[in-house]
């Protein structure tokens, strides 16, 4: 016996299962959200719910690549799950929002946050990963306040499986839908004439090591240099919404381009990618730009080895990928190439 997956059509044709799914609707965006209400188990990595009847719903809750879910349907997983599920910590009357185990800003913003706009209750306990930054927690609270929803408390999840009773689990949206939700809800009608450069001077990877050599070029072209680590997410939204041109080394901060107006220009300084598994990094912000009709430009930089790999990366990324991928290195760029990049586009 293994965990059984039910397709959306099977859910609709099973009255008992279908009754467990609520549906909330954003009239302004014409977007509906399915929300499972009941008892279920899930882990704090994939947030993939499994019912007490050992059923799950991959059409509704898949947000990673297909191979990330294969193990849930193995005999080995089922035996281990069955043996341990009575020992899982229990939470009741909880909305499982979830968040990135590594506190990745791109993932939090585009996978988890959009589901906040479909909460059906007036007050909630919200489950997120313990690693979630204070800045992201503040953003969640601000959204709930705007929506006039009372946050009773956060429930913090560690790297484990949990049991939820009488709880809510909103569906995950395709990235294109998440982008639409965020852009339409936060889009502002303001004069977007600012030019900004996002520095990664305090980052572990993809830091432009010769950035100081480029400052004069940026200032000559009227760019403001900004370290987003010093800004709240609401402030970052304002910065990107008011920007005409944005230059940045590859960074989760570029996720904020979902808040740009449709005539903004994105200039990404990227590592040189050479592996198939890096394609998701390579296309991430060009894909967002394409969806929102932003102008997008890419400049490839040369890699520079980092001196020390941080603990979080070592925990979540294999040693081979850390060694081989330029995504986990710093960057250096020729000044003349940088000048052409920003002055000829």
- The reported pLDDT for the residue numbered 314 is 86
β-strands 50-51, 194-198 pairing: unpaired
Task: Identify which of 39, 45, 55, 69 has the alpha carbon closest to the alpha carbon of residue 2.
Answer: 55
Q: What angle do CA 173, 178, 179 make, to 5 degrees?
A: 150
φ/ψ of 344, rounded to 5, equals -100, 0
User: 């997120």: which residue's tokens?
Assistant: 128
Edge-to-edge strand ranges of the sheet holding 194-198: 224-226, 194-198, 243-249, 265-270, 295-300
| Region 243-253 average pLDDT | 96
So what's the pLDDT on residue 251?
Answer: 95
Q: Where are the domains of the chain?
A: 4-183, 188-343
pLDDT class of 247 with cuts at 50, 70, 90: very high
pLDDT of the residue at 178: 98
Sign for the CA dihedral angle at 88, 89, 95, 97 comes to negative
Q: What is the pLDDT of residue 310?
A: 86
User: Can you give the pLDDT at residue 103?
Assistant: 95
DSSP symbols for 158-215: -SSEEEEEEEEEEPPPPHHHHHHHHHHHH-------EEEEE--TT-SSS-BTTGGGGH
Q: pTM of the entire structure?
A: 0.94
pLDDT tens readout for residues 168-203:
999 999 999 999 999 999 987 667 789 999 999 989
- Token pair of 203, please? 């980052």
Can you read off the two tokens belonging to residue 304? 């520079």
Mean pLDDT along residues 275-292 = 94
Give CA 181 to chain center in angstroms: 13
What was the pLDDT predicted at 189? 66
Burial label for 105, CB within 10 Å (0-12, 13-18, 19+), is buried
The chain-wide mean pLDDT, for the chain, equals 95
pLDDT band of 115, cuts 50, 70, 90? very high
Q: What percent of the chain has pLDDT over 70?
A: 99
Over the Cα atoms of the chain, what is R_g?
Answer: 22
Closest CA to 167 of 201, 213, 120, 131: 120
Q: Hey, what are 225's tokens?
A: 């240099």
Asked if the 188-343 domain carries CATH number 3.40.50, the reply is yes
Report the distance separating Cα 269 and Cα 290, nearest Å.
17
User: How is residue 234 annotated by DSSP?
Assistant: H
pLDDT above 90: residue 288: yes
Phi–psi pair at 277, nearest 5 degrees: -65, -10
Q: Which two tokens mark 70?
A: 């294969």
Give the lowest-confidence range in 25-39, 115-129, 226-240, 313-327: 313-327
Angle (nearest 5°) at CA 187 between 184 and 189: 130
Q: Exposed, middle or buried, 41 (CB in 10 Å: 0-12/13-18/19+)?
A: buried
What is the mean pLDDT of the segment spanning 105-130? 97
Helix (H) or strand (E) holding 51: strand 50-51
Share of the chain above pLDDT 90, in %: 90
Residue with tokens 């198939």: 276
How far from each other are the two terminal CA atoms of the chain, in whole angstroms? Answer: 59
48-60, pLDDT tens digit by residue? 999 999 999 999 9
pLDDT digits (tens, 9 = 90+) for 133-169: 999 999 999 999 999 999 999 999 999 999 999 999 9
């Amino acid at each position: 016996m293994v965990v059984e997956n039910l397709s959306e059509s099977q859910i609709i044709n099973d009255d008992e299962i279908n009754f467990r799914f609520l549906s909330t609707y954003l009239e302004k965006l014409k977007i509906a959200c399915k929300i499972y209400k009941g008892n279920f188990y899930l882990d704090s990595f994939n947030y993939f719910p499994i019912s007490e009847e050992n059923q799950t719903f991959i059409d509704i809750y898949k947000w990673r690549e297909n191979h990330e879910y294969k193990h849930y349907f193995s005999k080995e997983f089922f035996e281990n799950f069955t043996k341990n599920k009575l020992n899982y910590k229990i939470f009741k009357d909880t909305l499982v929002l979830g968040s990135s185990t590594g506190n990745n800003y791109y993932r939090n913003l585009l996978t988890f946050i959009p589901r906040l706009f479909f909460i059906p209750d007036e007050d909630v306990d919200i489950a997120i990963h313990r690693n979630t930054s204070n800045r992201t927690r503040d953003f969640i609270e601000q959204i709930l306040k705007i929506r006039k929803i009372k946050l009773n408390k956060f429930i913090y999840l560690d790297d484990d499986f949990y049991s939820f009773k009488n709880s809510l689990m909103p569906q995950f949206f395709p990235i294109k839908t998440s982008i639409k939700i965020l852009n339409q809800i936060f889009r502002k009608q303001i004069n977007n004439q600012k030019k900004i450069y996002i520095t990664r001077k305090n980052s572990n990877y993809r830091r432009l090591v010769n950035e100081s050599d480029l400052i004069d070029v940026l200032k000559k072209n009227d760019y403001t240099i900004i370290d987003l680590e010093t800004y709240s997410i609401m402030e970052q939204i304002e910065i990107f919404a008011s920007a005409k041109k944005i230059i940045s080394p590859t960074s989760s901060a570029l996720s904020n381009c979902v808040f740009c107006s449709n005539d903004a220009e994105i200039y990404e300084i990227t590592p040189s990618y050479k592996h198939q598994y890096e394609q998701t990094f390579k296309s991430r912000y060009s894909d967002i730009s394409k969806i929102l009709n932003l102008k997008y430009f890419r400049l490839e930089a040369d890699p520079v080895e980092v001196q020390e790999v941080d603990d979080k990366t070592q925990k979540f990324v294999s040693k081979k990928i850390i060694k081989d991928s330029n995504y986990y290195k710093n960057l250096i760029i020729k000044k003349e190439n940088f000048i052409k990049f920003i002055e000829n586009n």
